[in-house]
Amino acid sequence: MTIANPLLAPLSRTPITEGWTVRAASGPAEVGSQHLLATVPGVVHLDLMAAGLIPDPYLDDNESKLAWIGLVDWTYETQVTVTAEVLAAGERHELVFDGLDTIATVSLNGERLLEVANQHRRHRVDITDRLRAGDNRLTVEFRSPVRYANAQSVALGARPRPYPFPYDAIRKSACSFGWDWGIATYSSGIWRPVRLETWSGARLGDLLVTAEPQGAGGIVRVRAAVVRTGGELPLTMTVSVAGESATVDVDADRGVDIEVRIPDVEKWWPAGHGAQPLYDVSVRLSANASLLDETTRRVGFRTVRWNTTPDAAGTPFELVVNDRAIFVKGVNWIPDDAFPSRIDRSRYQRRLEQATHAHINLIRVWGGGIYEADDFYDLCDELGLLTWQDFPFACAAYSEDEPLRSEVEAEARDNVTRIAHHASLVLLTGNNENLWGYEDWGWKERLDGKSWGEHYYYELLPTIVAEIAPHVPYAPGSPFSPGGEHPNAERHGTMHLWEQWNRLDWKTYRDQTPRFVAEFGWQGPPTWSTLTQAIHDEPLTPESPGMIVHQKAIDGNAKLTSGLVPHYRVPEDMETWHWAMQLNQANAVTAALEWFRSHAPHTSGAVVWQLNDCWPVTSWAAIDGGGREKPLFFALRNAFAPRVVTVVPVAGELTVTLVNDTDESWSGDLELRRRDFSGRIVATDSRHVAVGPRATVRVAVDGAVAEPGDAARELLTAEALGQRGVWWFSEPRDSALPAPEFSLAVSHTDEETFDVEVTAGTILRDLAVLVDKIAPSATVDEGLRTLLPGEMTTFRISGVAAIAESELREPGILRSGNELVAGS
C-alpha cells in the first residue's frame, strides 16, 4: 500500500485497552470457562477479583487456595475495529506489546502472529497485510507458567535454586513463584500496554541518547535506527536540546549519529549533593518537511565511575559522580506489588519520595524482580535517586542453552536500550548472588558440568552494555570482587551480610569492615494496621495460621526470637511482641549503619535489604505492603542523616565518629557526658572538633567517661552542633530502664496535620508513635527518639481529621524500649 500524498502523516499510536475479555482455556479452572471482563494492562488475578470470583490473594491463606490459577491456560480476546480511512492513512500497521506475562501465542483473525516466552521483552509485529476494515479479532493465549517452567526445567536440565518451582527455566519475574518475603502468584496477563501503530515512509527505531558534561557545557549524542517501508524517500533527522539543534540527512542503509553541543549546562547530582536539572532531548524524523515520527528523552549531565583501584586494604567499590566520591546510602527495591500492573506513576512517586525522606540516595533494583517501568527511572532522575539495576537473575544456576540463551540476549538489548539514557542509572549488574552461589552453595557438584550462567555474566551482558551503553558501568554480579577474589570477600568489592540474621546476633555486624555492603537486613512484622487488615486469626498470635502464611522466611519466627533474646525478653502479648520485633529490627539496622558509616571512606556504601514490600508480610522492609512506614524506616532516616554522631566500640575502645555528608565544614565542641538514667551527669569530657565537607572524624573516648559506674543505670551521650550519639552500657533486658513517663501537648497546625509535643518525665529509649493504630491513613514524620528526663521532641502527624491526647495515651500508641524491660 502506497500513499501518493507527499505530505506524509506522522506516526499514530492507538492504545488497545477496551473490550478485552479473559477466560480459562484449559486446566483446573475453578471458575469455569465464562468470558470475564479484562483490564489491560493487567493480569488474570485482578480480573477474577473484579468479577467477584476469587478472594483477595493477600488475605489470610488465600494464596494456597488460588494456586490453581498458575496451572490454567488463559485466553484474552478483544475486537480491534479499524475504519477504511485508518487503513488508508498509513503504509504500515504494527501491533506493539510492551509486556506479555509470559508464555503466549498472539493471533489476529485466527492467524498466528507471535509466539512469546519472556515477560521482560517488548514485541512488535507487522500486521499490514492482515488488518482489515471493520472488526478484527485479537487473541492472546497464555499457557500455564507453572507447567511451562516445569517442562523447560526437564528439557534444559534441572539446576540448583533455593525454592521448589523452577523459576530459572522461564524468563519471568523469579519472585512471582514466591520468595522468602513474597507471595506466589504464578499469574498470566497482558501486564504492560498494547497498541496499534500506523505510519508511512519511515519511523524511528531503537534510540540511544547520552549526555556528557564538557567544561561549562555539554554534548548530547544520539544514535537512532530508522525503519523504512522501502524506497528512497529523502529523510532528515533533527535533534534539539536546550535551545540548540542539529539536522542531518538519513542514510538509506544506516542509522544516524548526531551530536549537539550546548555551551552552558548545569550538572546533575545525586540527592544530598546538589540539584537535578534535566534537559529534554527532542528527536524528529521528517520527509519533505513533513513530520513522520518524534520522541523525547530527558537527560542529565554528569559523569559516573566506580573506583576499584586496589589499595593497601584490598579493593574498594567507591561510587564517583562528577569526580566526587559519593557515600552510598542505599536500599534494595523489589516489585512494589505482587501484581506490578497495579503500580502507576503516582505510586512510584509516593514510594520514592518516602525514600528521599529517609535520606536515601541509591535504589538497587534487585535481580529477582523486573525491569521497572519508565516512570520509575524518570522519577529517580527527578529526585536524584541513583539507580543500580540488576539483570533479572537471582540465587539460581541458569541454563545457557536455547531457547533461554536467545531470550536473555533479546531482553538485555531491549531494556538496556530503554533505560540507558537516565542520569540516575549508575550501575548494571549481571545477577544477584549467583557468583556467590556457584562458589559456596554446593552448585558445582550438583551441576555436574552443566552451564550455570557464567557466559551471561562475564561475556554476553558486558558485551551488550559496552555496545549499547558504554557510559554505564557494569559489574558481573552482586556480591562481586573486582580483583578475582572470592565474590563475597570482605576486603574486596561488594559484600552481602546474611549470617547476622540467619544465625548470629546483630552486634556482630561490628566484627566486619567491608568495602561496600550491597545487602544486609533484619526482619520485622508490618505495621499493626497492615497486619490486621490482612490477617483475621482469632486469636492473633505470632504463630497463628495467618501469621505463618505471612512469614515466608525459613525458620523466620525462630530467627526473630533468637535475634530478640540477647536484647529484650520475648513479650507474652501479641501487640507487645509486634512492637518488640519491630524495634529490634530497627536497632539491628541502626547498629549496622552506624558501624559502616563510622568506617567511611574504607566502607564506601551500604544498601539495606529492603525498602519496600509487595504484599502484607513479615519481612526485612522499611515500608510495608500497605505503604506504611515501620520503625525501621525512621532508623534509616536517623542513621542516613547528612550529619550524624555515633558511638561505637572500635578495637575494644569506645569511639565517637562524626560524619559530615554535606558541602559545609562542621566544627564546634564535642560534649561527652556519662549520665545515669535520672539524667544526672556522672563524668564529662569536652574537646573541639572540626569535620570537613564530606568527611569523617573519629575521637577516642577517655576512660573516665567510657567506664560506667553502674552499667545497668548509665549511658554515654556525645553531642556536637545539635547532633547526638548515644551508647548504652548494657543491653536493655539487663538494664534498669524505668517505666515510661511523659507529658503531651497536641496542637492543630493545618488541615489534617497535628504537632504532638512529648516531654519526657523519665528517660525514654527509642520513643515512637505508632500512628496507624489511631487511623490507618495517618503518618508521622519522625521516630525512634531517645529523650533524657525533661527533654522534649515534636512529632508531626498527618492524614487524620482530629486527634486527642486521650487517643495518644491509649496503650500501644506511644511506645518505647522502656516497655520491653521487665523492671518497668
Q: For cell 483473525, what's the residue?
A: 109
For residue 747, pLDDT over 90 is answered with: yes
Q: What is the pLDDT of residue 483?
A: 86
What is the model's pLDDT at position 69?
97
pLDDT at 633: 98
Domain layout of the chain by residue ranges: 12-196, 198-299, 644-734, 742-820
403-429: buried (b, 16+ CB within 10 Å) or exposed (e) per residue? ebbebbebbbebbbbbbbbbbbbbbbb
pLDDT of residue 824: 57
pLDDT of residue 9: 83
Fold equal for 12-196 and 198-299: no
Give the HSE-up count for residue 297: Cα atoms under 13 Å, Cβ half-sphere.
Answer: 24
Q: Is the pLDDT of residue 59 over 60?
A: yes
What dotted CATH number matches 198-299? 2.60.40.10
pLDDT class of 233 with cuts at 50, 70, 90: confident
pLDDT at 721: 85
Q: What angle do CA 575, 533, 611 make, to 5 degrees?
A: 80
CA-based nearest residue to 196, from 128, 133, 129: 128
pLDDT of 66: 97
Average pLDDT over residues 136-151: 98
| Residue 2 predicted with pLDDT over 50 | no
User: What is the structure's pLDDT at 89?
Assistant: 85
- Residue position matching grid coordinates 525491569: 371
Q: Give the helix, strand, coil percentages of the chain, each rounded to 5.
A: 25, 35, 40
Provide the pLDDT confidence category of residue 3 given band limits of 50, 70 and 90: very low
| pLDDT (0 to 100) of residue 727 | 97
Mean pLDDT, range 328-333, rounded to an integer: 98
Is beta strand 695-700 parallel, antiparallel or unpaired with respect to 681-691? unpaired
Which residue matches cell numbers 529523650? Answer: 787
Predicted pLDDT at 823: 63
| pLDDT tens readout for residues 168-196 | 999 999 999 999 999 999 999 999 999 99
Instruction: Determine which helix (DSSP H) or strand (DSSP E) holds 409, and give its type and residue range.
Output: helix 404-419
Cell of 410: 533479546
String of DSSP letters for 12-36: EEEE--SS-EEEEEES--TTTT--E
CB atoms within 10 A of CB 532: 18
Q: Is the model's pLDDT at 222 over the cut of 90?
A: yes
Question: What is the mean pLDDT of the segment spanning 131-150?
Answer: 97
Could you tell me the pLDDT band of residue 362, with boundaries at 50, 70 and 90? Answer: very high
Q: How far apart are CA 195 and CA 417, in angstroms?
A: 20
Residue 683's contacts (CB-CB under 8 Å, 6 or more residues apart) are 673, 674, 704, 705
What integer is the mean pLDDT of 306-310? 97
CA distances to 38, 70, 114, 578, 780 from 32, rounded to whole Å, are 16, 15, 27, 42, 47
> Is 355 a residue whose pLDDT tops 90?
yes
HSE (CB half, 13 Å, CA atoms) of 724?
11
HEC assignment per residue over 204-235: EEEEEEEEEEECCEEEEEEEEEEEECCCCCCE
Specify the pLDDT at position 781. 96
Mean local confidence (pLDDT), 27-31? 91
| pLDDT beyond 60 at 1 | no
Q: What is the mean pLDDT of residues 401-419?
A: 98
Give the C-alpha separation, 597 to 606, whole Å. 8
pTM above 0.85, yes or no: yes
Residue 689 has pLDDT above 60, yes or no: yes
The span from the CA of 194 to the CA of 124, in Å, is: 10
> What is the CATH number assigned to the segment(s) 12-196?
2.60.120.260
pLDDT given at position 521: 98
Which CATH superfamily groups domain 644-734?
A: Immunoglobulins (2.60.40.10)
pLDDT of residue 495: 98
Residue-averaged pLDDT of the chain: 96
Model pLDDT for residues 779-805, shown as the tens digit of each residue: 999 999 999 999 999 999 999 999 999
Query: What single-letter DSSP state applies at residue 752?
Result: T
The pLDDT of 547-568, averaged and rounded, is: 97
E-assigned strands of 215-311?
217-228, 235-241, 244-249, 256-262, 279-287, 290-299, 304-307
Which of 329, 386, 325 has its CA nearest to residue 695?
325
Q: Which three cell numbers stand for residue 68?
A: 490453581
Q: Where are the alpha helices (DSSP H) in 427-573?
A: 434-440, 443-447, 454-455, 461-468, 499-502, 528-534, 545-549, 556-564
Over residues 499-522, the pLDDT tens digits come to 999 999 999 999 999 999 999 999
**Among the CATH numbers 2.60.40, 2.40.40, 3.30.2450, 1.10.287, which is that of 742-820?**
2.60.40
- Residue 165 Rama label (left phi>0; alpha psi -120 to 50; beta): beta
